[in-house]
Amino acid sequence: MSTARVGAPRVVTSLGVSVLLLACATGGSSGDPPVDAAVGLDGAPTDGAPPTDAPDVDAPPTTDAAVTDAAVTDAAVTDAAVTDAAVTDAASPDAMVTAAGTDACTPITTQLLINPAFDNEPVGTGWTQVAFDPSYPLITPDDGIPEHTAPYKAWLGGLFSFSDDMYQQVTVPAGTTMLVVRGQYEVRTGESGTTVYDRGWLELVNSSNGLLQGVLTLTSATPTTAWTPFQLQFASPYAGQVVRLRLRSTNDFSLATSFYFDSFQLEATIGCP
């Protein structure tokens, strides 16, 4: 900058004359006497004379010496205040963001299922009933037993020689570090003894119904007498993947077994980096 400013008038020297003349000829010397005077001195008479340049053009040099070097760049801004002391070390990168950020980060837990307790209207919202008797929708208020949460529950089984199948498909958020399912189940059966005749499953499968991990394996040999809570953290969080929470059942030809489900939660926890 300073070089340009100083050099300009010198180079223009030869032209400076005509410029000067023009300026004078225009007669308006009233306009900018101080500037013309200065330029005229530099350009026309003195030519490359350093002495003249020094005072006039160097006036701005105040920029070089005082402002740039001493005050702003070196002393105040760069070294002392901004870079070293304040910003880098104390405030932002090291101290606050990283250290404090880690401490302050709170994992976010999101419930992924739509209509997790089966109670939303219209009935069955969010769930896909694949195999069932149309006379007996799987999400129902029918009183095989009272719901864990009213008015609806999922009721699979209870029919001879029949299989039921339903699921809800969700996309697990990217960044999920923990995936947990919890809910309530109940099993009622006409069977007795330890031989298994009827079965029910709750499982996590992929979008092609390939098994990812089982949650519950229920049978006619292990009935319950009340709603029973369950909870499982999946071995993998399946971050970013499309998964299905799938309920199935099979009954043989006699002595029906009913598998009830209610009040689900499928929780994805997105941890801190």
Q: Which residues bind Ca ion (CB under 5 A)?
A: 117-119, 147, 149, 153, 197-198, 252, 255, 262
C-beta of 123: minimal distance to Ca ion in Å? 11
Task: List, in sequence order, the alpha helices (H) in the chain.
Answer: 2-11, 13-25, 33-41, 50-58, 62, 101-104
Whole-angstrom distance, CA of residue 76 vs CA of residue 62: 17
Nearer to Ca ion, 186 or 198 (CB): 198
Nearer to Ca ion, 262 or 267 (CB): 262
Nearer to Ca ion, 176 or 219 (CB): 219
C-beta of 139: minimal distance to Ca ion in Å? 9
C-beta of 145: minimal distance to Ca ion in Å? 12
Q: What angle do CA 188, 191, 192 make, to 5 degrees?
A: 110
Nearer to Ca ion, 19 or 255 (CB): 255
Nearer to Ca ion, 42 or 119 (CB): 119
Token code pair at residue 191:
């069977």
Whole-angstrom distance, CA of residue 211 vs CA of residue 200: 15
Residue nearest to Ca ion (CB): 149
C-beta of 96: minimal distance to Ca ion in Å? 46
Between the alpha carbon of residue 272 and those of residues 58, 67, 197, 264, the distances in Å are 57, 45, 46, 26
C-beta of 191: minimal distance to Ca ion in Å? 5
Whole-angstrom distance, CA of residue 238 vs CA of residue 172: 6
